[in-house]
Structure formats: C-alpha cells, structure tokens
Amino acid sequence: MQIALTAVYRRVPEGYIAFVEELPGANTQGATLEEARRNLVEAVELVLEANRTLAQEDLRGEEVIREPLELPPA
C-alpha cells in the first residue's frame, strides 16, 4: 500500500516551517530546507506511532478486529 501525502514548506526568517496537508499534527521546522524535510519525515512517523498507541490504549479490553487497510490505486 502506498499513500501520497503532500508536504508543504514555507520560508520564514528562521529557516523553514513544514507540515503535511493530509495529516494534522505532522508539522516541524528546520534551519534549512533539507533539515525541514528530514524533520518532517520524523514528525509523520511520530504522529502515526502516537495515534496507533492511543487507539490501542483506548480499545484495550474491547473486542475489535484489526486488519491492514487496502486502498485502491490512485
């Protein structure tokens, strides 16, 4: 499965701020564009990990079905 996300970078006096349009909470900054890009990848990984952990904690003890989500090709 491959998901296309949109990274947005904005130049500011301190460097760049960055966020992912489709993933609230995935935002960061960097002194250079390359640093902002690296930091954004890490931010996305952290947001996904945190969301997964929160969902698992919220559903602990509940009867649920977990399975991979197959998205149709774009």
Per-residue pLDDT band at 4 (split at 50, 70, 90)? confident
Residue 69 has a CB neighbour count (10 Å cut-off) of 6
Does residue 54 or residue 4 have the better pLDDT? 54
> Rounded CA gap, 44 and 25, in Å?
8
**What's the pLDDT score for residue 70?**
84
**What's the pLDDT score for residue 36?**
98
Per-residue pLDDT band at 32 (split at 50, 70, 90)? very high
